[in-house]
């Protein structure tokens, strides 16, 4: 085996390991992105539920009135 062939083989091995590392990092990033999107949708739904239920019954106004003694 020549020196150039050995060098090419080590370069290709390092490139394949870099590709595998990048794929693993992208899987982690994809998982985190979906988790953030899921939590944001959940928080938005929670805020909308609180807004529309409070709009009719004003329970938050009474609750904050008790806490802060308005």
What pLDDT does 17 receive?
76
Where are the chain's structural domains? 3-68
The rounded average pLDDT for each run of 10 residues, N- to C-terminus, in the chain (70 residues) is: 58 71 94 98 97 92 88
Provide the whole-model pTM.
0.62
How far, in Å, CA of 19 to CA of 12, rounded? 10
How far, in Å, CA of 15 to CA of 18, rounded? 5
Are 14 and 22 in contact by the 8 Å Cβ rule? The answer is no
């Amino acid at each position: 085996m020549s020196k150039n062939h050995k060098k090419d083989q080590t370069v290709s091995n390092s490139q394949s390991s870099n590709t595998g590392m990048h794929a693993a990092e992208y899987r982690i990033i994809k998982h985190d992105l979906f988790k953030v999107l899921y939590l944001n949708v959940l928080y938005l739904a929670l805020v909308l539920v609180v807004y529309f239920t409070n709009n009719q019954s004003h329970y938050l106004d009474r609750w904050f009135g008790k806490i802060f003694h308005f």
